[in-house]
Protein backbone atom coordinates (compact mmCIF):
# COMPACT_ATOMS: atom_id res chain seq x y z
CA UNK A 1 0.00 0.00 0.00
CA UNK A 2 2.80 2.43 0.86
CA UNK A 3 5.40 3.45 -1.71
CA UNK A 4 8.70 2.92 0.13
CA UNK A 5 12.38 3.16 -0.76
CA UNK A 6 14.92 1.62 1.56
CA UNK A 7 17.58 4.18 2.51
CA UNK A 8 20.49 2.08 3.82
CA UNK A 9 21.34 -1.58 4.25
CA UNK A 10 20.20 -1.81 7.86
CA UNK A 11 17.60 0.88 8.52
CA UNK A 12 15.54 3.72 7.14
CA UNK A 13 12.77 3.93 4.55
CA UNK A 14 11.46 6.91 2.62
CA UNK A 15 7.69 6.88 2.15
CA UNK A 16 6.21 8.76 -0.81
CA UNK A 17 2.72 9.51 -2.07
CA UNK A 18 1.15 9.82 1.37
CA UNK A 19 -0.60 12.71 3.11
CA UNK A 20 -0.09 12.38 6.86
CA UNK A 21 -2.89 14.89 7.49
CA UNK A 22 -5.48 12.36 6.31
CA UNK A 23 -5.20 9.44 8.67
CA UNK A 24 -8.84 8.35 8.63
CA UNK A 25 -8.08 5.14 6.74
CA UNK A 26 -7.22 2.48 9.38
CA UNK A 27 -5.28 0.56 6.69
CA UNK A 28 -2.87 3.51 6.43
CA UNK A 29 -2.16 3.38 10.19
CA UNK A 30 -1.55 -0.36 9.96
CA UNK A 31 0.78 0.08 6.98
CA UNK A 32 2.74 2.87 8.73
CA UNK A 33 3.20 0.75 11.87
CA UNK A 34 4.38 -2.31 9.99
CA UNK A 35 6.71 -0.21 7.78
CA UNK A 36 8.23 1.31 10.92
CA UNK A 37 8.67 -2.14 12.50
CA UNK A 38 10.56 -3.33 9.39
CA UNK A 39 12.71 -0.23 8.86
CA UNK A 40 13.16 1.41 12.31
CA UNK A 41 13.19 4.95 10.80
CA UNK A 42 10.63 6.45 8.38
CA UNK A 43 11.19 9.64 6.38
CA UNK A 44 8.21 11.41 4.84
CA UNK A 45 8.94 14.66 3.01
CA UNK A 46 6.75 17.70 2.26
CA UNK A 47 4.14 17.18 4.97
CA UNK A 48 4.08 20.60 6.74
CA UNK A 49 2.10 19.23 9.68
CA UNK A 50 0.46 21.47 12.26
CA UNK A 51 1.00 20.55 15.91
CA UNK A 52 -2.49 18.99 16.06
CA UNK A 53 -1.79 16.93 12.94
CA UNK A 54 1.55 15.81 14.38
CA UNK A 55 -0.16 14.68 17.58
CA UNK A 56 -2.77 12.71 15.61
CA UNK A 57 -0.01 11.07 13.56
CA UNK A 58 1.91 10.16 16.73
CA UNK A 59 -1.19 8.46 18.17
CA UNK A 60 -1.24 6.11 15.18
CA UNK A 61 1.87 4.48 16.72
CA UNK A 62 1.03 4.55 20.44
CA UNK A 63 -0.22 6.71 23.30
CA UNK A 64 1.14 10.27 23.27
CA UNK A 65 3.56 10.83 26.15
CA UNK A 66 4.24 13.81 28.37
CA UNK A 67 7.88 13.74 29.34
CA UNK A 68 9.41 14.97 32.58
CA UNK A 69 12.43 17.28 32.99
CA UNK A 70 12.32 19.03 29.61
CA UNK A 71 9.90 21.97 29.46
CA UNK A 72 7.27 21.26 26.79
CA UNK A 73 5.34 23.84 24.79
CA UNK A 74 3.07 25.76 27.16
CA UNK A 75 -0.12 25.02 25.22
CA UNK A 76 0.86 21.46 24.15
CA UNK A 77 2.43 19.50 27.01
CA UNK A 78 3.09 16.47 24.77
CA UNK A 79 5.25 18.53 22.40
CA UNK A 80 8.85 19.65 22.84
CA UNK A 81 10.12 22.44 20.61
CA UNK A 82 13.63 21.31 19.66
CA UNK A 83 14.89 24.82 19.10
CA UNK A 84 18.31 26.37 18.84
CA UNK A 85 18.39 30.10 18.12
CA UNK A 86 21.00 31.64 15.84
CA UNK A 87 22.50 33.58 18.77
CA UNK A 88 23.10 30.41 20.85
CA UNK A 89 26.56 29.92 19.48
CA UNK A 90 28.34 28.20 22.35
CA UNK A 91 27.66 24.89 24.00
CA UNK A 92 26.08 21.76 22.64
CA UNK A 93 22.79 20.90 21.01
CA UNK A 94 19.84 18.97 22.40
CA UNK A 95 20.48 15.29 21.69
CA UNK A 96 24.08 15.94 20.63
CA UNK A 97 25.39 12.54 21.76
CA UNK A 98 24.28 9.03 20.83
CA UNK A 99 21.18 8.20 22.84
CA UNK A 100 17.77 6.64 23.02
CA UNK A 101 15.17 9.22 24.11
CA UNK A 102 14.54 9.19 27.86
CA UNK A 103 15.88 5.66 28.32
CA UNK A 104 16.08 6.41 32.07
CA UNK A 105 12.28 6.26 32.44
CA UNK A 106 10.66 3.05 33.65
CA UNK A 107 8.79 2.93 30.37
CA UNK A 108 10.83 4.97 27.89
CA UNK A 109 9.23 6.14 24.65
CA UNK A 110 8.70 3.34 22.12
CA UNK A 111 9.27 5.89 19.39
CA UNK A 112 9.49 9.56 18.51
CA UNK A 113 8.32 11.88 15.74
CA UNK A 114 10.20 14.97 14.56
CA UNK A 115 8.45 17.55 12.41
CA UNK A 116 10.85 20.01 10.76
CA UNK A 117 9.89 23.68 10.67
CA UNK A 118 13.08 25.71 10.26
CA UNK A 119 16.35 24.13 9.16
CA UNK A 120 19.80 25.68 8.64
CA UNK A 121 20.86 25.92 5.00
CA UNK A 122 23.82 23.70 5.88
CA UNK A 123 24.18 21.29 8.79
CA UNK A 124 21.87 20.16 11.60
CA UNK A 125 21.48 16.61 10.24
CA UNK A 126 20.32 13.78 12.51
CA UNK A 127 21.95 10.34 12.43
CA UNK A 128 20.35 7.06 13.52
CA UNK A 129 22.10 3.77 14.16
CA UNK A 130 20.45 0.35 13.97
CA UNK A 131 20.89 -1.37 17.30
CA UNK A 132 19.52 -4.64 15.97
CA UNK A 133 22.28 -4.70 13.32
CA UNK A 134 24.74 -3.74 16.06
CA UNK A 135 23.56 -6.58 18.31
CA UNK A 136 23.55 -9.19 15.54
CA UNK A 137 27.13 -8.38 14.55
CA UNK A 138 28.62 -8.19 18.06
CA UNK A 139 31.45 -10.63 18.74
CA UNK A 140 30.15 -13.78 20.46
CA UNK A 141 31.92 -13.06 23.76
CA UNK A 142 30.06 -9.71 24.04
CA UNK A 143 26.76 -11.34 23.08
CA UNK A 144 27.25 -13.93 25.84
CA UNK A 145 28.26 -11.21 28.30
CA UNK A 146 25.03 -9.30 27.57
CA UNK A 147 22.69 -12.30 27.50
CA UNK A 148 20.15 -11.87 30.36
CA UNK A 149 22.07 -8.89 31.79
CA UNK A 150 20.47 -5.63 32.88
CA UNK A 151 21.93 -2.14 32.74
CA UNK A 152 21.40 0.94 34.89
CA UNK A 153 20.04 4.12 33.27
CA UNK A 154 20.04 7.49 35.07
CA UNK A 155 18.49 10.80 33.96
CA UNK A 156 20.07 13.59 36.02
CA UNK A 157 18.61 16.07 33.59
CA UNK A 158 20.37 15.40 30.36
CA UNK A 159 22.53 12.63 31.63
CA UNK A 160 25.18 12.35 34.27
CA UNK A 161 28.24 13.18 32.20
CA UNK A 162 26.71 15.71 29.87
CA UNK A 163 24.60 17.80 32.23
CA UNK A 164 25.41 21.35 31.13
CA UNK A 165 26.14 23.84 33.92
CA UNK A 166 22.94 25.45 35.21
CA UNK A 167 24.23 28.86 34.07
CA UNK A 168 24.61 27.64 30.49
CA UNK A 169 21.01 26.45 30.63
CA UNK A 170 19.59 29.79 31.63
CA UNK A 171 19.68 31.27 28.14
CA UNK A 172 19.12 28.09 26.19
CA UNK A 173 15.89 27.71 24.23
CA UNK A 174 15.26 24.26 25.73
CA UNK A 175 14.73 24.43 29.46
CA UNK A 176 15.42 21.43 31.70
CA UNK A 177 14.50 21.04 35.35
CA UNK A 178 17.30 20.17 37.74
CA UNK A 179 17.72 18.48 41.08
CA UNK A 180 14.72 16.19 40.61
CA UNK A 181 15.30 13.07 42.73
CA UNK A 182 13.22 11.01 40.28
CA UNK A 183 15.67 11.81 37.47
CA UNK A 184 18.65 10.74 39.59
CA UNK A 185 17.03 7.39 40.43
CA UNK A 186 18.65 4.31 38.88
CA UNK A 187 16.35 2.41 36.50
CA UNK A 188 17.17 -1.06 35.23
CA UNK A 189 16.48 -2.18 31.66
CA UNK A 190 17.54 -5.33 29.80
CA UNK A 191 20.79 -4.70 27.90
CA UNK A 192 19.24 -6.48 24.92
CA UNK A 193 15.58 -5.94 24.05
CA UNK A 194 13.24 -7.79 21.71
CA UNK A 195 10.81 -6.06 19.37
CA UNK A 196 7.34 -7.44 20.21
CA UNK A 197 6.20 -7.24 16.56
CA UNK A 198 9.19 -8.58 14.62
CA UNK A 199 11.10 -10.55 17.27
CA UNK A 200 14.27 -8.60 16.33
CA UNK A 201 16.76 -8.22 19.16
CA UNK A 202 18.63 -4.96 19.75
CA UNK A 203 21.15 -3.41 22.11
CA UNK A 204 19.45 -1.07 24.59
CA UNK A 205 22.42 0.87 26.02
CA UNK A 206 23.50 4.44 25.35
CA UNK A 207 26.39 6.69 26.33
CA UNK A 208 24.25 9.50 27.81
CA UNK A 209 22.05 7.62 30.24
CA UNK A 210 23.55 4.15 30.81
CA UNK A 211 26.01 4.33 33.68
CA UNK A 212 26.82 0.68 34.45
CA UNK A 213 25.60 -2.92 34.44
CA UNK A 214 23.62 -4.38 37.33
CA UNK A 215 25.90 -5.82 40.05
CA UNK A 216 28.94 -4.11 38.52
CA UNK A 217 30.57 -0.78 39.34
CA UNK A 218 30.99 2.01 36.78
CA UNK A 219 34.72 1.18 36.59
CA UNK A 220 34.02 -2.51 35.96
CA UNK A 221 31.34 -1.69 33.38
CA UNK A 222 33.32 0.94 31.46
CA UNK A 223 35.55 -1.31 29.32
CA UNK A 224 32.51 -3.34 28.19
CA UNK A 225 30.41 -0.26 27.50
CA UNK A 226 33.21 1.42 25.57
CA UNK A 227 33.67 -1.60 23.29
CA UNK A 228 29.93 -1.89 22.78
CA UNK A 229 29.43 1.82 21.96
CA UNK A 230 32.34 1.79 19.52
CA UNK A 231 30.67 -1.07 17.68
CA UNK A 232 27.07 0.19 18.05
CA UNK A 233 27.82 3.57 16.46
CA UNK A 234 29.80 2.33 13.47
CA UNK A 235 28.85 4.20 10.27
CA UNK A 236 27.94 0.80 8.73
CA UNK A 237 24.78 0.66 10.87
CA UNK A 238 23.77 4.29 10.42
CA UNK A 239 21.46 6.46 8.37
CA UNK A 240 22.00 10.24 8.22
CA UNK A 241 19.07 12.51 7.40
CA UNK A 242 19.54 15.94 5.85
CA UNK A 243 16.43 17.83 6.91
CA UNK A 244 14.17 20.04 4.82
CA UNK A 245 11.32 22.08 6.31
CA UNK A 246 8.12 20.02 6.03
CA UNK A 247 9.92 16.73 6.69
CA UNK A 248 8.55 14.25 9.19
CA UNK A 249 10.77 11.49 10.59
CA UNK A 250 9.41 8.74 12.83
CA UNK A 251 11.74 6.31 14.59
CA UNK A 252 11.74 3.29 16.83
CA UNK A 253 13.42 4.39 20.06
CA UNK A 254 14.14 0.82 21.18
CA UNK A 255 15.76 -0.44 17.96
CA UNK A 256 17.92 2.64 17.26
CA UNK A 257 20.20 5.24 18.80
CA UNK A 258 20.25 8.75 17.37
CA UNK A 259 22.55 11.77 17.38
CA UNK A 260 21.90 15.44 16.55
CA UNK A 261 24.91 16.97 14.79
CA UNK A 262 26.28 20.20 16.24
CA UNK A 263 27.57 22.00 13.15
CA UNK A 264 25.25 24.96 12.49
CA UNK A 265 26.23 27.67 14.99
CA UNK A 266 24.74 30.99 13.92
CA UNK A 267 21.62 29.46 12.29
CA UNK A 268 18.17 28.87 13.74
CA UNK A 269 16.84 25.30 13.81
CA UNK A 270 13.33 24.33 14.94
CA UNK A 271 11.62 20.96 14.93
CA UNK A 272 8.70 19.75 17.02
CA UNK A 273 9.11 16.43 18.78
CA UNK A 274 6.42 14.10 20.09
CA UNK A 275 6.88 10.64 21.58
CA UNK A 276 4.67 7.58 21.90
CA UNK A 277 4.46 4.81 24.42
CA UNK A 278 3.87 1.07 24.35
CA UNK A 279 4.77 -1.58 26.88
CA UNK A 280 8.13 -1.32 28.69
CA UNK A 281 11.21 -2.77 26.92
CA UNK A 282 11.58 -6.57 27.33
Catalytic residue among 45, 273, 278, 282: 273
Q: Is 101 in the site for ligand SIN (CB under 6 A)?
A: yes
Stretch that binds ligand SIN, among 15-23, 94-102, 187-195, 202-210 (CB under 6 A): 94-102
What is the size of the binding site for ligand SIN (CB under 6 A)? 10
Q: Is 273 in the site for ligand SIN (CB under 6 A)?
A: yes
Residues 142-171 contacting ligand SIN, CB under 6 A: none
Stretch that binds ligand SIN, among 12-20, 93-101, 156-164, 181-189 (CB under 6 A): 93-101
Nearest approach in angstroms of CB 36 to ligand SIN is 16
Name, in order, each residue with C-beta under 8 angstroms of 111's C-beta and a sequence gap of 6 or more: 36, 61, 62, 250, 251, 252, 253, 254, 275, 276
CA distances from 114 to 121, 249, 250 (A): 18, 5, 7
Told to judge if 258 belongs to the known catalytic residues of this protein, a careful annotator would answer yes
Q: Give 216-270 as a DSSP string.
A: S-HHHHHHHHHHHHHHHT-GGGEEEE---TT-EEEEETTTEEEEE----TTS-EE
Nearest approach in angstroms of CB 221 to ligand SIN is 24
Told to judge if 180 belongs to the known catalytic residues of this protein, a careful annotator would answer no
Nearest approach in angstroms of CB 260 to ligand SIN is 3
Q: Which of 8, 126, 233, 256 binds ligand SIN (CB under 6 A)?
A: 126
Q: Is 115 in the site for ligand SIN (CB under 6 A)?
A: no
| Residue closest to ligand SIN, measured at CB | 95
CA dist., res. 188 & res. 11, Å (int): 27
CA dist., res. 127 & res. 263, Å (int): 13
Q: Tally Cβ neighbours within 10 Å of residue 9.
A: 11
Q: Rank residues 213 and 251 by Cβ distance to ligand SIN and give the closer one.
A: 251
Catalytic residue among 101, 195, 247, 252: 101
Residues 230-259 contacting ligand SIN, CB under 6 A: 258
CA distances from 282 to 63, 102, 146, 278 (A): 18, 16, 14, 11
Q: Which of 11, 15, 36, 82 binds ligand SIN (CB under 6 A)?
A: 82
Q: Is 272 in the site for ligand SIN (CB under 6 A)?
A: no
User: Which phi and psi angles does 98 have, rounded to 5°?
Assistant: -60, 130
Told to judge if 273 belongs to the known catalytic residues of this protein, a careful annotator would answer yes
Nearest approach in angstroms of CB 149 to ligand SIN is 26
Catalytic residue among 212, 254, 258, 269: 258
> How do beta strands 13-16 and 41-44 pair?
parallel
Here's the x/- map for ligand SIN, 41-80, by CB under 6 A: it reads as ----------------------------------------
Told to judge if 99 belongs to the known catalytic residues of this protein, a careful annotator would answer yes
Q: Half-sphere exposure of residue 103, counting CA atoms within 13 Å on the CB side?
A: 32
Query: Which positions are annotated as active-site residues?
Result: 99, 101, 258, 273
Residues that bind ligand SIN (CB under 6 A): 82, 94-95, 101, 112, 126, 258, 260, 271, 273
Amino acid sequence: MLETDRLTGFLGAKISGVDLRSLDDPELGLALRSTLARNSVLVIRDQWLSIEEQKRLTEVFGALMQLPYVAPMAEDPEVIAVLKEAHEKSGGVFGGEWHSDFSFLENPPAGSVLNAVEIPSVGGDTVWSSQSAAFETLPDYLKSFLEGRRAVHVGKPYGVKFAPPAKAQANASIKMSRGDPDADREILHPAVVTDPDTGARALFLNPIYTTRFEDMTEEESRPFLEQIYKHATRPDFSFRHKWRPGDVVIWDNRMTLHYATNDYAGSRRLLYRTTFQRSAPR
